[in-house]
Amino acid sequence: MAGPYRYGVQNSHFGRVRRALGRPWRATVFLAAGLPLATIGAVVLLTIGIPPTPAGAVVLLLFSPLLTRIQRDRYRVLYDVEIPPTRHPQGLLARLRSRSTWRPYLYHLLLGPLIGTLGAAVVLGWAAGVAMVTCWMWRYALPLDVRLSENPKLFTLNTVGGVVVLAVLPWASAAVARLDCWAGRNFLGPDRAEVLEKRVEVLAVSRAGVVDAADAERRRIERDLHDGAQQRLVSLAVNLGLALATMPDLPSDARTVIQEAHAEAKAAIEELSLLVRGLHPAVLDDRGLSAALSGIAERSVVPVRLTVTLPQRPPPTVEAVAYFTVSEALANVAKHSKAEQAEVEVRGTGDRLLVRVWDDGVGGADASDGTGLRGLALRAASVDGRLTVRSPQGGPTEIRVELPCVR
Amino acid sequence: MRAVIAEDSLLLRIGVVKVLQSAGIDVVAEEDDAEGLLRAVEEHRPELAVVDVRMPPGFTDEGVRAALVIRRQFPGTAVLLLSQYVEGRYAADLLTEYQAGIGYLLKQRVADVAEFVDAVRRVAAGGTALDPQVVAQLLVRRRNDPLDRLTQREREVLASMAEGRSNAGIAEALVISESAVAKHINSIFAKLDLPKAETDHRRVLAVLQFRSGDGDGEEES
């Protein structure tokens, strides 16, 4: 039982040691590889590219992307740093104007050579450090006159200095490598704004997908329940009803049992119907928001004045959000507000849908506590909509939802 | 009496057929979609069609649309719609065009066999049968609604009327005398500014005239 546990500890301990030794080593290799690349790049760009000749311009435009690609490979292969490719705008002119076209030049001409120099210092530092630490080993190989002219203490000092250099270098190499990574990310990769923009794009698409999928799933469950359990229950109730109607001579206790089962089945149908309607009302798909909302308004305990003005049908997901907003808001009105009347107004204005639910109740509703209002705010936010609640103590309460109708 | 039935759920179709047969009604055709229903009605010309609202292929309101076609093309065939839910809008669609030989009940009402058979016979005889839930939706109060002028008792009478009951039926349901029912009805017609008329159709109109029209327009009456 202790075996695997101890083995695990040893293994992780070993791994830590290996990583501690490996990190400066990798950083050094990474930096060493950067030096020739930066040198070649800067030299080529400066000598061929900068003089304003047509050939120079071509080199300038073609060589830099190639250099960028090689550098990106260096980051990935030698240091596990992924620098995503830049998205260039379409068209030559737009491309020439774009910041992301020119940022790499700053790297290749200035930062690359600079960091390359620091990298070279690191590599030399390792060599110097090793040489200094081991000087007592090879001092005997030095020419005799040099050995005699030196202070013997100098060798001790060299050794000590070498140890210090070797102790500092892992940190220094990591620091320079970090600097290199920062430069690479900021000048070879896409702009931060560009990255965020792309991320927002991806998130918007995936969220729309999730919202639509949830919506579709609710519809599917509604269909399944409608076609399956509900029909079965109705059929059961019908058969029990038939038994009661066609067998008048049943013993009274059997009759009682069947009557109870009959009543139970009918109650189950009612309950299931309420549940299914809460999932997704079929009339919303068939007849749209106005018809579905008049259904809710009609079922409301508090009298509702409903106004729907829609020049065109909103997208299905937006319709569903509007429907459930009104449904939940009116349920709240009935439960908490003690209102005598309520108003529901739905207005489409081309690119957005405005929903307003008002009641003359006691007020004091709060979107931040755990009531259904918070759920409504989340639902609205799922389609980039906004919910505002105005509900002073003593009323009236007004809930406004603004939903963009993007097609 | 001969009837056709259109219902896509086999279980329920069998149940409804059994109930109809137990009442001595001859079921001449069983269909599972609106197209089949219209063909069967054309072929058999039955006195009654029992129709599910939601049927293939769209599973939306095929039954309602088929009912409108049947009432228009085959006036001799009454239509009783069965639905899982009550939608006031569907009922309004049907009843604004036809006030006779039409019914709209929740599916679970079939389970109360005697009452269901009553409703079936009433519809086949040219009357109406509306589910109590439909009536409740049709009678919901609106602001500045003339229905507000009715007394509680008159509202109850109007509700029973809308379900398709006769004066005698209303009297029995509300446990009042038939003459009292007649008095209430006259008072209702007066308060709703309806001209006095003896036909049952006017009675349903009393409920319907306060319903808004179809479509996504202004909802306020």
Are A245 and B14 a contacting pair at CB < 8 A? no
* SS3 call for A395: coil
* SS3 call for A274: helix
DSSP string computed for A146-175? HHHHS-HHHHHHHHHHHHHHHHHHHHHHHH
Task: Convert the pLDDT of each residue in A279-288 to its tens digit.
Answer: 777 778 777 8
Pairing mode, strands B2-6 and B48-52: parallel
Supply the pLDDT for residue B51: 95
Task: Convert the pLDDT of each residue in A1-43 to its tens digit.
Answer: 444 444 444 456 666 666 666 788 888 889 999 888 888 888 8
Residue A30, H or E segment: helix A2-44
Supply the pLDDT for residue A248: 85
Residue A282 at interface with chain B, using a CB cutoff of 8 Å: yes
Residue A57 pLDDT grade (very low, low, confident, very high; cuts 50, 70, 90): confident
State yes or no: pLDDT of A257 exceeds 90: yes
Alpha helix ranges (H) inside A134-251: 135-138, 144-149, 152-187, 192-225, 231-246
Residue A278 pLDDT grade (very low, low, confident, very high; cuts 50, 70, 90): confident
| C-alpha triplet A102, A103, A105: angle, nearest 5° | 70
Sequence letter at residue A117: T
B192 or A170: whose pLDDT is higher? A170
Supply the pLDDT for residue A6: 45
Pairing mode, strands B26-31 and B48-52: unpaired
| Interface contacts (A, B; CB < 8 Å) | 123
Supply the pLDDT for residue A17: 67
Are B219 and A293 a contacting pair at CB < 8 A? yes
Residue A303 at interface with chain B, using a CB cutoff of 8 Å: yes
In CATH terms, are B2-132 and B139-208 the same topology? no
Are B19 and A241 a contacting pair at CB < 8 A? yes
Token pair of A248 as six digits: 């008048």
Are B61 and A239 a contacting pair at CB < 8 A? no
Distance CA A182, CA B103 (A): 76
Domain residue ranges of chain A, discontinuous segments joined by +? 2-190, 195-279, 283-404
Contact predicate B188/B150, CB 8 Å: yes
Name the CATH superfamily for A283-404. Histidine kinase-like ATPase, C-terminal domain (3.30.565.10)
Supply the pLDDT for residue B128: 87
Residue B212 pLDDT grade (very low, low, confident, very high; cuts 50, 70, 90): very low
Task: Convert the pLDDT of each residue in A323-359 to its tens digit.
Answer: 989 998 898 888 888 888 899 999 988 789 999 999 9
Q: How far is CA A140 from the centre of its chain?
A: 64
Task: Convert the pLDDT of each residue in B83-127 to its tens digit.
Answer: 887 777 777 778 778 878 899 999 989 999 999 999 999 999 988
Name A346's Cβ contacts closer than 8 Å, sequence gap at least 6.
A289, A290, A293, A307, A308, A309, A310, A322, A326, A353, A354, A355, A356
Residue of B108, B109, B116, B218 to mutate when probing chain A, most A C-beta within 10 A = B108
Supply the pLDDT for residue B142: 46
DSSP string computed for chain B? -EEEEE-S-HHHHHHHHHHHHHTT-EEEEEESSHHHHHHHHHHH--SEEEEESS-TTTSSSHHHHHHHHHHHH-TT-EEEEEESS--HHHHHHHHHH--SSEEEEEGGGGGSHHHHHHHHHHHHTT-EEE-HHHHHHHT---TT-GGGGS-HHHHHHHHHHHTT--HHHHHHHHT--HHHHHHHHHHHHHHTTPPP--SHHHHHHHHHTTS--SSSS----
Distance CA A64, CA A37 (A): 12
pTM of the model: 0.58
Burial of A341 (0-12, 13-18, 19+ CB in 10 A): middle
How large a percentage of chain A has pLDDT more than 70?
Answer: 91
Beta bridge partners of B197: none
Residue B24 at interface with chain A, using a CB cutoff of 8 Å: no
Distance CA A222, CA A226 (A): 6
Residue B141 pLDDT grade (very low, low, confident, very high; cuts 50, 70, 90): very low
Supply the pLDDT for residue B216: 35
Supply the pLDDT for residue B56: 82
* SS3 call for A356: strand
Domain residue ranges of chain B, discontinuous segments joined by +? 2-132, 139-208
Distance CA A316, CA A405 (A): 10
Distance CA A70, CA B2 (A): 85
Distance CA B162, CA B171 (A): 14
Q: How far is CA A395 from the centre of its chain?
A: 39
Residue A99, H or E segment: helix A99-106
Q: What is the mean pLDDT of residues B10-15?
A: 90
Q: How far is CA A35 from the centre of its chain?
A: 37
Contact predicate B51/B29, CB 8 Å: no
Q: Nearest-CA distance from A73 to chain B in Å?
A: 55
Supply the pLDDT for residue B198: 52
Supply the pLDDT for residue B52: 93
Q: How far is CA B75 from the centre of its chain?
A: 16
Q: Nearest-CA distance from A366 to chain B in Å?
A: 28
Distance CA B7, CA B32 (A): 5
What is the arrangement of strands in the sheet containing A397-404, beginning at the earlier edge strand? A304-309, A342-348, A352-359, A397-404, A386-390
Interface list for B 45-64 with A (CB within 8 A): 54, 59-61
Q: Tokens 């259109």, residue?
A: B6
Chain B hits for A308, CB-CB cut-off 8 Å, are: 216-219
Residue B213 at interface with chain A, using a CB cutoff of 8 Å: no
Residue A279 at interface with chain B, using a CB cutoff of 8 Å: no
- Residue B104 backbone dihedrals phi, psi, to 5 degrees: -145, 105
Are B212 and A295 a contacting pair at CB < 8 A? no
Distance CA A299, CA A301 (A): 6
Q: What is the mean pLDDT of residues B130-154?
A: 69
Give the residue among A386, A285, A400, A403 at the shortest CA–CA distance from A349.
Answer: A403
Residue of B9, B10, B64 to mutate when probing chain A, most A C-beta within 10 A = B9
Distance CA A49, CA A140 (A): 52
Supply the pLDDT for residue A239: 92
Give the nearest chain A residue to B20 (CA atoms).
A242
How large a percentage of chain B has pLDDT more than 90?
Answer: 38
Are A241 and B87 a contacting pair at CB < 8 A? no
Query: What CATH fold (topology level) applies to the domain B2-132?
Result: Rossmann fold (3.40.50)
Distance CA B170, CA A217 (A): 45
Supply the pLDDT for residue A179: 92
Are A269 and B108 a contacting pair at CB < 8 A? yes
Residue A357, H or E segment: strand A352-359
**Which of A72-76, A382-386, B158-162 is least confident?**
B158-162
Question: Looking at domain B139-208, which of 1.10.10.10, 3.80.30.20, 1.10.357.10, 3.50.50.60 is its CATH number?
Answer: 1.10.10.10
SS (H, E, C) B141-198: CCCCCHHHHCCHHHHHHHHHHHCCCCHHHHHHHHCCCHHHHHHHHHHHHHHCCCCCCC
Residue A342, H or E segment: strand A342-348
Are A306 and B216 a contacting pair at CB < 8 A? no
Q: How far is CA B109 from the centre of its chain?
A: 13
End-to-end CA distance of chain B: 41
Distance CA A132, CA B101 (A): 110
Task: Convert the pLDDT of each residue in A235-256 to its tens digit.
Answer: 999 999 999 988 888 899 999 9
Distance CA B112, CA A210 (A): 44
